[in-house]
Structure 1
Amino acid sequence: MSTLMAYIAGLLFGLGLAVSGMTDPARVLGFLDLFGAWDPTLIFVLGGAVVTNFFGYRLARRRPHPLFAAAFQLPTRRDLDGRLIGGAALFGIGWGLSGYCPGPAFASVAGITWPLVAMLAAMVAGWFLARALPSQG
């Protein structure tokens, strides 16, 4: 049941990205173009996500366990290491260059383009690189 719920959550996330226009890399690049033709649309999408998460997280934490799992799976590490900072920097650079982050990239696979292929290939290469680097945790 938890796998089905994860699948449904992923579909809802992808649908939300598509409806909000965040699968369009031009819109994301327009948001990042602060001194050109700036497009503030992404602020409203991000703001809606923050507000929804703020209240949803508090409601969920009042429960003894999730609806379809035995326990909550929350991260326990709170330190910042080179892998985290490096990964965040690479994520930001890739997002800024391509206009795609992983969610919109996967939601856009139906309309595959060469920039999308390049971004997905770089993301997969990053996964393998992250596995090859020694973990400090």
Structure 2
Amino acid sequence: MLAETIFSAVAAAGLGIAAITAYRKKYRSAARIAAYALVPLGLVMTGAVRWAFDTAFSPVAWAGFGALGAAWLLLAATRGAERRAGRKAAGGGAEPAAVAPGASAPAGKALGGRAPRAATGGGAAAGASEDFSDIEAILKKHGI
């Protein structure tokens, strides 16, 4: 009951300030102040204030919020445990998992850190090997 009285008084004071502002010929500001002043009055009339105050001072409501918090913590903890278990199963978390199940290892790991060699064949394969060695040199320069 006290909350409704306070909210109604705030609304009345706001409407009074809006009237004074309108008297000073600042109609846009007066309309904005009146809009803000009508919000607490609307909350009182819809019963939202009573519901909010009943919820805020209810031990059952706070126990419910505690139960929701505990549920959230349990979900977050199990999610983290699943992620850790997935990393350990994938190889200890040191190496990233392959993008596709049939994907091969990266070229540097498969060849012991050496640049890929060109297949015996024409100049096109030799040109490709030079391109890869240039790229590998750039990556090594940047520490990648």
With the shorter chain as reference, the TM-score category is under 0.3
TM value normalised by structure 2: 0.22
Structure with greater helix percent: 2
Q: Answer 1 or 2: higher relative contact order, Cα 8 Å, separation at least 6.
A: 1
